[in-house]
Amino acid sequence: MSKTDLRGLSREQVRSLVLDLGEPAFRGDQVFEWVFAKRVSGFDRMSNVPKSFASHVERVAEIGRLEIQSERKSSEGTTKYLFALRDGQAVESVLIPHRYGMSVCVSSQAGCRMACRFCASAEGGFVRNLTASEITSQVLEIQALLDVHDVRVSRVDFMGTGEPLDNYENVLQAMKVLSDPGGLGIGARKITVSTCGIVPGILRLAGEGMQVTLSVSLHAPDNALRDMIMPVNKRYPLEELLPACDEYAKRTGRRVTYEYVLLLGFNDTAEHARKLSRLLRGRLAHVNLIPLNPVAGGGFERSSQQAVTAFSRELGKAGVAQTVRREMGARVDAACGQLRRRHVDAGRRQVGKRPDQGTEPG
Ligand code: SF4
C-alpha cells in the first residue's frame, strides 16, 4: 500500500489522518509543525511525540523528499536547482535574492501543454502534473538549505515550468500548505500565480478567498500578435481574458500583473506600447516589461535597450504602471525550462535520439 505524503497535506488533513489512527488531533498539529516548520526528514526526529505514535504514523505516511540533481549559481546570486522526481522526471526551481528577501520560483508541471512559442518548457510537450507534495517540496528543500544561514524564503512564484492553472487542484492545495502560519508561513499575498491566460482558472481562483497575486503573460497588445506566439489566445482571446482579470482584481482587491516580454521588431515598437496602454488604461494593472533572455533561438531577438526604454516611456506617458524586470538569473539559464531541457536532452542522447533544436523562453 502506498503511503500518504505528508508534504502534500494541509494541517487539517494531517489532523484527520491522525484522528483516523485513533490519535488525538493535537498530535496532528505537532506532526504538521515538524514537517513544515522544523523541516525534519524523519519521524525519529519528532522529539515531542511518543515513539509509539511516530511509528504508528510512519506505517501509513511518509515525508517526501526531492533530490537535487544539479545546481547552478549565477554571479547575481540566483541559484537554479534541478530536482529529480521518483519517476525519472525532473523539475526546476530558482532561488532569487531580492532587497526584501528570498523568493523561490517553482514549477507546477513536468513539461507544459500550452506551447508558447518563446518558451523552452513547451518543447517536448506535457508530461504530467506535479503533486502538491512535489510543489511544496521544491520550497522545503531550498528552505532547508537556507536554514543553516538562518534565512527564510519570503515569496513563492509559480513561474517555473508548467501552467499552474492547468494543474489547479494541486497548485491550490500547495498554496494552502505553504501559507499556513504554523508551517512555512508564506502568506497568500506573497504567492504569485503566473498564467498564460486560462480564463476559467482565473475566475475560479478569484472565488477561493485567497489573496494571491495574479500574473498574466500577455506579451502582445492585440489578438493577431498574441495568436502568433501563444496558442492559448485562440481559446481565450483578450476580450475574454481581460474581463476575467478585472473580475479577479475586483474580488480580491489585488492589482493584476501583466508580463510583457519584449521581442525585437515583433511587439516592441512605440505603436505596440500605445496599443498596450489603450488596452490596460483604467484597469487595476501593473505591467512587467521583460527583456528577452540573451540566448539564441526561438526565432526572436532581444529588443535593444533603447527600445525597452522607449516602450516603458510610452506606457508611463499613458499613466500605465510598469517596471522593467531586472535580469536576475539570465546567466544561469534562468528562463523556465532551460535546465530541465538539458536533462531531457541528455536522456534523449542516452537512448540515441537527436535532441531538439532549442527555442528560448522569455
Ligand atoms: S510560458 Fe508558461 S504556459 Fe507558456 S509554454 Fe512556457 S511554461 Fe507553458
297 conformational bin, left if phi > 0, alpha if psi -120 to 50, beta if neither:
left
- Asked whether residue 222 carries a pLDDT value surpassing 50, the answer given is yes
323 conformational bin, left if phi > 0, alpha if psi -120 to 50, beta if neither:
beta
| Spacing, Cα 204 to ligand 1 middle (Å) | 20
pLDDT grade for 157, boundaries at 50, 70 and 90: very high
| Spacing, Cα 162 to ligand 1 middle (Å) | 6
3-state SS assignment for residue 73: strand
Burial (CB count <10 Å: 0-12, 13-18, 19+), residue 128: middle
Supply the DSSP string of 130-164, one letter for each residue.
PPHHHHHHHHHHHHHHHHTTT--EEEEEE-SSS-G
| Spacing, Cα 315 to ligand 1 middle (Å) | 25
Cβ-based neighbours of 250, under 8 Å, separated by 6 or more? 284
pLDDT tens profile 124-138: 789 999 999 999 999
CA distance linking residue 96 with residue 105, whole number of Å:
8
pLDDT tens profile 74-103: 877 899 999 999 999 999 999 999 888 999
What residues pair up with 230 in beta bridges, in sequence order? none
| Higher pLDDT pick, 7 / 122 | 7
Q: Which atom of ligand 1 lies at the shortest distance from residue 119's CA?
A: 6
- Enumerate the domain spans of the chain: 4-62, 67-350
Positions annotated as catalytic residues are: 92, 336
pLDDT grade for 354, boundaries at 50, 70 and 90: very low
CA distance linking residue 162 with residue 204, whole number of Å:
18
- Asked whether residue 329 carries a pLDDT value surpassing 70, the answer given is no
For the segment 240-255, the average pLDDT, to the nearest whole number, is 97
Burial (CB count <10 Å: 0-12, 13-18, 19+), residue 237: middle
Q: Looking at the domain 67-350, which fold is it?
A: TIM Barrel (3.20.20)
| Cα angle 325, 331, 336; round to 5 | 65
Q: Which class would CATH give 4-62?
A: mainly alpha
- Ligand 1 pocket test, pick from 93, 121, 236 with the greatest ligand atom count within 8 Å of Cβ, gives 121
| Spacing, Cα 147 to ligand 1 middle (Å) | 31
Which residues lie with the beta carbon below 6 Å from any ligand 1 atom?
A: 112, 114-116, 119, 121-122, 161-163, 196, 217, 336
Backbone angles phi, psi at 144, to 5 degrees: -60, -35
Q: Which atom of ligand 1 lies at the shortest distance from residue 196's CA?
A: 3
**Residue closest to 258 by CA, chosen among 115, 99, 248:** 248
Residue 15 has what pLDDT? 97
- Asked whether residue 338 carries a pLDDT value surpassing 60, the answer given is no
| Higher pLDDT pick, 1 / 291 | 291
Residue 339 has what pLDDT? 54
Q: Report the 10 Å Cβ neighbour count for 113.
A: 14
Give the amino acid at 146. L
| Spacing, Cα 338 to ligand 1 middle (Å) | 12
- Asked whether residue 297 carries a pLDDT value surpassing 50, the answer given is no
Residue 158 has what pLDDT? 95
Q: What cell does 295 get?
A: 540566448
- Asked whether residue 335 carries a pLDDT value surpassing 90, the answer given is no
**Residue closest to 280 by CA, chosen among 265, 259, 262:** 259
- Ligand 1 pocket test, pick from 117, 119, 218, 288 with the greatest ligand atom count within 8 Å of Cβ, gives 119
Closest residue by CA, ligand 1 atom 4: 116
- Asked whether residue 331 carries a pLDDT value surpassing 60, the answer given is no
Mean pLDDT, all residues of the chain: 89
Backbone angles phi, psi at 191, to 5 degrees: -115, 130
- Ligand 1 pocket test, pick from 130, 196, 338 with the greatest ligand atom count within 8 Å of Cβ, gives 196
Q: Report the 10 Å Cβ neighbour count for 133.
A: 24
